[in-house]
Structure 1
Amino acid sequence: MEKLQTIQDVVTFINETHFAFLYVSQEDCSVCHALRPKVTELLKSYPKIKVREVEADKVKAISAEYLIFSAPTSLFFIDGKEYLREGKFVQFKKLANAIEQIYSFEEIH
């Protein structure tokens, strides 16, 4: 999962990517490290979704810009608009179903 290093990288990624999935983690977060491979595996089924990671402790402006108060947080954007947000304790089945619904709907329109 490619990491974004600045808030400008994050904003550019979200605004210039049709399906943008942002995984916000922290370096010392064991839940973040455990969840990352599961998110990566889930998103392999959706090749049009581009995924990037940002470490909140290194890109501090992410918290204020996107109102992120805990890690991990997963954000899914379509054309710059937030469609899905999952924080801390991610329910994978719920996340997978939501992504599937959005992805399928966008595919037919």
Structure 2
Amino acid sequence: MNIIDSNEVVKKLINNNKMVLVYFGSKTCGVCSAMKPKVEEVLKIYPKIRSIQVDVEKSMQVSATYDIFTIPAILVFIEGKETIREARYISMQDIERKISRYYDLIFE
């Protein structure tokens, strides 16, 4: 996942791609460090999803724009609209199931 620190870049990616996963985390967050590889594993299953990471400590403005109050947080945008939002206690099985349903509708 590429680390993005600009609202403009995030908005452009969301608006120019059918499906985008935005992962909000921090290097100092132990849960975030454990969660990131799991998110990357799910993304390998769905290669057409564009994914980016936002470091909340370095990009507070981006975090504020998307109302991120706790980390880790995962937002999935489909055709420019926020469709999935999970934060703090994230079940990767639930995320994968939700992503799968939309992915099949959009890409297959």
TM-score where L is the length of structure 1: 0.93
Q: How many residues align?
A: 108
Percent identity of paired positions between Structure 1 and Structure 2: 34
Structure 1 spans left out of the alignment, 5+ residues? none
Partner residue in 2 for 1:23: 23
Structure 2 Cα separation of the partners of residues 80 and 8 of structure 1: 14
Rounded Cα–Cα distance in structure 2 between residues aligned with 1:9 and 1:63: 13
Q: Tell me, yes or no, if structure 1 residue 8 matches structure 2 residue 35.
A: no
1:74 is matched with 74
User: CA separation in 2, counterparts of 1:3 and 1:10?
Assistant: 10
- The 3-state SS of whatever aligns with 1:83 is strand
* Cα distance in 2 for residues equivalent to 1:58 and 1:8: 15
What SS class does the counterpart of residue 99 from structure 2 fall into? helix
Cα deviation code 1:55-99 (max 9, x no counterpart): 011111123211110111000001110110110111111111101
Where does residue 49 of structure 2 map in the other structure? 49
1:40 aligns with 2:78: no
CA RMSD of aligned residues (A): 1.1
Q: Name the counterpart of 1:95.
A: 95
Normalising by the residue count of structure 2, what TM-score does the alignment of the two structures yield?
0.93
Structure 2 residue runs without a partner (length 5+):
none
* 1:7 CA drift (Å): 1.8
Write the distance in 1 (CA, Å) between the matches of 2:44 and 2:63. Answer: 27
